[in-house]
């Protein structure tokens, strides 16, 4: 049995590498937004639907144009991945229409919101360093062992820090499900008021799991920062600062 597992670590890039990470994610955002604009225009003007393959061919031409030749500095495969993400967004859009759900037309990406890019291959791992094509060896905080065969690698920015995620395939033995002993069975209900409620055995005895102490401390802070962000003018320096503070707190809660 083969399962997929992601191994997430915080990066420790050099200053020059920080600039490259920002450049690469910005290039992917540019290609995604440009591709989305091209698809919208093609349909509005000629009722034509562009494909990933057509846009991928056009990507080669873009690198030869003076105003966009800077794209040559970025690894070509991560730009192709941005176009694949766009194509998947449209596939999801048409699938939702077919299933009579709220379609949700693909949206343009904003700078500073889920900045990321993906390598489909070419990444190498050596202890606590990863080789990223066109960037080089980057250190990361290795908090656990990486298992399985590497399939793709995603770099993402959360708050003030960059993270690397290795998506691996791991072969494991197919688990044999043991028979359920009703007297020992436990049902778990996760809620908002109580962190968890346990229902134990046939008698259905209940036990309450209180919220972790770190959540009691951090959630009020998160509400304060969320209100503060909502009162700022979107796009202003104060708005960006408040957004970074909130993203940093989200990351702290996520990894607590």
Measured between alpha carbons, how far is 199 from 177 in angstroms, rounded to an integer?
A: 21
Between the two ends of the chain, the Cα-to-Cα distance in Å is 31
Contact 164, 182 (CB under 8 A): no
Per-residue pLDDT, averaged over 108-124, amounts to 94
> Does the pLDDT of residue 182 top 80, yes or no?
no
Comparing 25 with 178, which gets the higher pLDDT?
25
Longest CA–CA separation in the chain, Å: 74
What does the alpha-carbon distance between residue 235 and residue 241 come to, in Å, rounded to a whole number? 10
Burial zone of 12 (CB within 10 Å; 0-12 exposed, 13-18 middle, 19+ buried): middle
pLDDT at 40: 94
Task: Give 82's contacts (C-beta < 8 A, 6+ positions apart).
Answer: 27, 28, 29, 31, 32, 35, 117
The per-residue pLDDT for 249 is 82
Q: Which residue, among 233, 37, 9, 23, has the nearest Cα to 140 in the 3D structure?
A: 9
User: Residue 187 has what pLDDT?
Assistant: 76
φ/ψ of 193, rounded to 5, equals -75, -50
DSSP bridge partners of 2: 171
- Decide: helix, strand or coil at residue 227: helix
pLDDT for 174 equals: 80
Strands (E), the chain: 2-12, 116-119, 124-126, 129-132, 136-140, 149-158, 161-171, 186-189, 196-200, 205-209
Question: What would the pLDDT profile of 137-150 be if each residue is shown by its tens digit?
Answer: 999 999 999 999 99
pLDDT at 176 over 80: no
Give pLDDT tens digits for 183-231: 667 777 776 566 777 776 655 566 777 767 767 778 788 888 888 888 8
How confident is residue 85, by pLDDT bands cut at 50, 70 and 90?
very high
82 pLDDT above the threshold of 90: yes
Q: What integer pLDDT is reported at residue 181 of this predicted model?
A: 67
What is the model's pLDDT at position 9?
97
Collect contacts of 221-227 with beta carbons under 8 A, ≥24 apart. Answer: 221/249, 222/246, 222/249, 222/250, 222/253, 225/249
DSSP labels, 64-95? TSGGGGGGGGS-HHHHHHHHHHHHHHHHHHHH
Q: Is the pLDDT of residue 2 over 70?
A: yes
Cα four-point dihedral sign 149, 154, 159, 162? positive
Output the pLDDT for position 193.
62
């Amino acid at each position: 049995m083969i399962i997929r597992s992601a191994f997430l670590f915080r990066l420790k890039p050099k200053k020059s590498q920080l600039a490259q990470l920002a450049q690469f994610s910005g290039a992917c955002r540019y290609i995604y937004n440009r591709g989305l604009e091209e698809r919208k225009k093609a349909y509005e003007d000629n009722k034509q639907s562009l494909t990933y393959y057509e846009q991928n061919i056009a990507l080669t031409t873009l690198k030869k144009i003076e105003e966009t030749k800077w794209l040559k500095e970025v690894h070509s495969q991560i730009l192709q991945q941005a176009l694949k993400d766009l194509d998947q967004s449209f596939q999801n859009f048409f699938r939702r229409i077919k299933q009579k759900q709220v379609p949700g037309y693909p949206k343009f990406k904003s700078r500073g919101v889920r900045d990321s890019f993906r390598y489909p291959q070419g990444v190498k791992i050596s202890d606590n360093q990863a080789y990223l094509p066109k960037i080089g060896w980057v250190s990361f905080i290795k908090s656990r062992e990486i298992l399985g065969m590497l399939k793709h690698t995603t770099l993402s920015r959360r708050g003030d820090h960059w993270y690397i995620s290795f998506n691996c395939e791991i072969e494991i033995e197919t688990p044999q499900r043991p028979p359920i002993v009703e007297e020992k069975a436990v049902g778990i209900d996760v809620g908002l008021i109580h962190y968890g409620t346990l229902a134990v055995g046939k008698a259905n005895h209940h036990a309450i799991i209180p919220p972790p102490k770190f959540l009691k401390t951090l959630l009020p802070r998160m509400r304060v920062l969320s209100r503060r962000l909502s009162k700022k003018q979107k796009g202003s320096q104060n708005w960006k600062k408040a957004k970074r503070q909130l993203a940093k707190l989200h990351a702290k809660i996520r990894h607590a």
